[in-house]
A and B are shown apart, each in its own frame.
Chain A
């Protein structure tokens, strides 16, 4: 069987390293509580401001994995996360899976903070795996608070197959 062409088009290659427009995320008390509850946290610091302050936080701390809620704009829904629609691979891939998440925290994040994020695709690879032909995209998102301090860097891996 002849070897197939790469799934990765030139247009896709060209997106590597291109920084997105920034987008804004709010860390608010209700969202912190909702996130903590959905995970199953029982520590009151995520629910009660007084408890949080007694424990040394400025306000309810953001649980690991919570990096704010993007501000929804019904007229710009596709831009809600700052990213342009990704170009399609040379052959259609219908399904997607989350491959992994790595978060590095460099500052404290609490309710009341407003974060600004930008992201870029850092790598695109193709692989034959147990799911067949797979396209693996790694992206990096940097979150800064209002003082400009970087508070978190997230590396995410998406798999299309």
Chain B
């Protein structure tokens, strides 16, 4: 073996060692990564993935949650919920709740926060505190208070209406009106939080941009529509998403406290209806089917979100 050949061989051996070392390190890294990911992954698997899977499984069964007998019924539960008037009513009501909350907890706070930043000169802090304060009160407490406020006989709302000669409706016992009352309870909770988010976003828009627009004689509305809105659209998008999900879940407490879904299912929503199927009627199959259907609906909306998101302006 010449000297050169020996050199080449030694280099090859070194290279081989290097590759092995590298592979070992990679292996060690893989273990480290797994360990780091494990806590979150395990929690996710146990508390999200498994319940969803189990839920799908349940939706194909007829079972009362206690009996040892579980009967496989195929898609019967799905067919049943779509012919069940209360469930269809709850879907319609859910749509109305979403609409009410998008108006009261997204559009209103958007304009109000713009007004607070660019139209009001003094007392911003005071307004901010006053408007945020209601968010701190628990939903259940608020629901009880609202049931007094809107009481047909003794509530201040009807007393006020009476003083101007209007006979107030039976808010808590009339379809339509009750949706409004429960919507207001959820608004009470969500409004202040969304307002703060919008305020932060609008304050983030550099003041020079507004000044530049003012020099061009842009009206307040134009400033909002052409500058503030596009630049805060990512926040608006976020608020839209959380308001949508709150509109499904936050009305549960007031429904439960004030009406229990009544009168005649006029105030129930899908989440409350699922609860009623499962824990009042012990129809776990139907509840699971309704939950899966709701999940599919929400997923559909998420796809819509993603299409929308492409039009949103993100900084950088």
Partners in one complex: no
Q: Which residues of A contact B (CB under 8 A)?
A: none
Q: Which residues of B contact A (CB under 8 A)?
A: none
